[in-house]
Amino acid sequence: MNILIKRRLVIIVIINLLVLTSILIWVCKKETPMPISKKGILDLTNYNLNREKYIRLDGEWEFYWKTLLDNNQLESINTGRIVTVPQAWNQSILKDESFPSKGYGTYKLRVKTSLPVKTKLGLRVYAFSSAYKLYIDEELIGTNGHVAKEPLEEVAEYKPQQLFFEIPAKTFDIIIQVSNYHHSTGGFKYSLYIGNQDSIHSLGNKIMAREFLLIGTLFIIALFYITLYSLHKEQKYTLYFALMCIFTIFGIDLIELMFVLQLFPSINFNGFMFLLYTIIMWCVFWLILFVSELYPSKFSWWIIRLYALYGIISQIMYIITLPIYYSKFDFITNCCQLLGILSTIVIVGIGIKKGHKEGWLNIISMCVFLIISTFDLIDKTNSNNYNIGQINFVGLLIFIYIQILIQAIRFREYYDNKTTAELALLQAQIKPHFLFNALNTIISISYYDIEKSRELLEQFSKYLRRSFDFKSRSQLVSLKNELDLAKAYVEIEKARFEERLEVKFDVDANLDTRVPILILQPLIENAIIHGILPKLKGGWVLVSIHTENNKLLFSIEDNGVGLTKDHLMETGEKDEKTKIGICNIDNRLKELFGKGLTIEGCKNKGTHITWNIPIRRRD
Q: Per residue in 270-326, pLDDT tens?
A: 999 999 999 989 988 998 998 888 889 899 999 999 999 999 999 999 999 999 999
Q: What is the pLDDT of residue 175?
A: 93
Q: pLDDT > 90: what percent of the chain?
A: 24
Interval 496-523 mean pLDDT: 86
Task: Evaluate whether 147 touches 131 at the Cβ level (below 8 Å).
Answer: yes
Right CATH for 3-31+205-416 from 2.60.200, 1.20.272, 1.20.1050, 1.20.1070: 1.20.1070
Q: Specify the DSSP element, H or E, that contains 557.
A: strand 551-558
Q: What is the pLDDT of residue 206?
A: 85
Q: What is the pLDDT of residue 384?
A: 41
Please work out, in degrees rounded to the nearest 5, the angle formed at the alpha carbon of residue 197 by the alpha carbons of 194 and 201. 90
Q: For residue 428, is pLDDT > 70?
A: no
**41-201 belongs to CATH 3.40.47.10:** no
Contacts of 449 (CB under 8 A, 6+ apart): none
Q: For residue 361, is pLDDT > 80?
A: no
Q: For residue 327, is pLDDT > 70?
A: yes
Nearest by Cα to 534 from 556, 501, 564, 512: 501
| CB contact burial 414-453 (16+ within 10 A = b; e otherwise) | eebeebbeebeebeeebeeeeeeebeebbeebeeeeeeeb
**485 three-class SS:** helix
Per mean pLDDT, which range of 7-11, 174-178, 486-490 is the poorest?
A: 7-11
Q: For residue 2, is pLDDT > 60?
A: no
Beta bridge partners of 501: 539
Task: Evaluate whether 111 touches 137 at the Cβ level (below 8 Å).
Answer: no
Please provide the average confidence, as pLDDT, over all residues in the chain. Answer: 80
Nearest by Cα to 124 from 115, 134, 137, 116: 134
Q: Which is the CATH superfamily of the domain at 429-614?
A: Histidine kinase-like ATPase, C-terminal domain (3.30.565.10)
Q: What is the pLDDT of residue 209?
A: 85
Predicted TM-score (pTM) of this structure: 0.67
